Amino acid sequence: MDTPNRLINGVPIEAILREPVEIDPALAERIAYRTVKGPELAIVEPDPQWPDHFQTFKSRILAAFEEDHPQGGSDSASRVTILGIHHIGSTSVPTLPAKAVIDIDLVLSSNTLPFEPYYIPRLEAAGFQYLIREPAWHEHRFLAAWEPMSCNLHVWGPQCPEVERHRIFRDWLREHADDRELYARTKRECAALSREKGEVMDEYSMRKEGVIRQIRARAFRALGYLS
């Protein structure tokens, strides 16, 4: 089967299968430091309100893009449209324990530097603080909010393989209890070890990366993307 030439939502399967390279942290541009302390590294039982909180954040984002923000580049040449707002991460998977943080992928028609004056003021108006710019990683932008709970907002441009990887992983966990249980166990073990060693969130994420790749590979095979 010649899968590399196939497209999934406009993204070549070959790009989706390619594991992300480790990006030099020095390439990330720090815009600001959090005005509110981030959530603690703790895995909690699933909360039935998490989907409602996602909808709250989604509604705020949509409303901010509909409203006129003169400071946000109203000229048509700089206009940005929303292509997708997706609930991802563990809080998007029913019954899965998670850190109490809503993760969102916001996909824009363009998120590169020339378009920031259009979309960043709108996201700030929606209650998000702009924290990090990562041009080397699919032009990723990272923002955070804290009400009604902690939220990590990941901003991407169109046809981004990272967005597809997040979607595939989420959908697989929603449908496969065995991998959901494996991931829950891994998260708890990694969080406990990272707390014991005094590590931060990035080190916790790296600890569970091997299991994430195993689960993702099973999803890719089931979808016919890998033999």
Domains and CATH numbers, the chain: 7-17+35-222 (3.30.460.10)
CB burial of residue 160 (10 Å; 0-12, 13-18, 19+): buried
pLDDT for res 36 = 92
> Which has more pLDDT, 76 or 45?
45
Judge whether 216 and 17 are in contact, CB under 8 Å.
no
What does the pLDDT look like over 218-227, one tens digit per residue? Answer: 999 999 999 8
Judge whether 169 and 212 are in contact, CB under 8 Å.
yes
Nearest to 8 by CA among 158, 161, 152, 122: 161
Indicate the pLDDT class of residue 70, thresholds 50, 70 and 90: low
Nearest to 16 by CA among 154, 132, 168: 168
Q: Token pair of 187, please?
A: 């998260």
21-47 mean pLDDT: 89
What does the pLDDT look like over 126-178, one tens digit per residue? Answer: 999 999 999 999 999 999 999 999 999 999 999 999 999 999 999 999 999 99
Contacts of 74 (CB under 8 A, 6+ apart): 68, 118
34-58 mean pLDDT: 95
Q: Token pair of 193, please?
A: 């070890």
| Residue % of the chain over a pLDDT of 70 | 94
Q: How big is the CA angle at 102 (ends 178 and 64), to the nearest 5 degrees?
A: 145
Q: Token pair of 169, please?
A: 């992983």
Q: How big is the CA angle at 43 (ends 53 and 21), to the nearest 5 degrees?
A: 90
> Which has more pLDDT, 117 or 38?
117
Count CA within 13 A, CB hemisphere, residue 126: 27
Strands 129-134 and 150-156: what pairing? unpaired
Q: Which residues of 57-70 are buried (b: 16+ CB within 10 A; e: fewer)?
A: bbebbeebbeeebe
Residue 20 in this model has a pLDDT that exceeds 80? no
CB burial of residue 2 (10 Å; 0-12, 13-18, 19+): exposed
Judge whether 119 and 130 are in contact, CB under 8 Å.
no
Q: Token pair of 24, please?
A: 């030099």
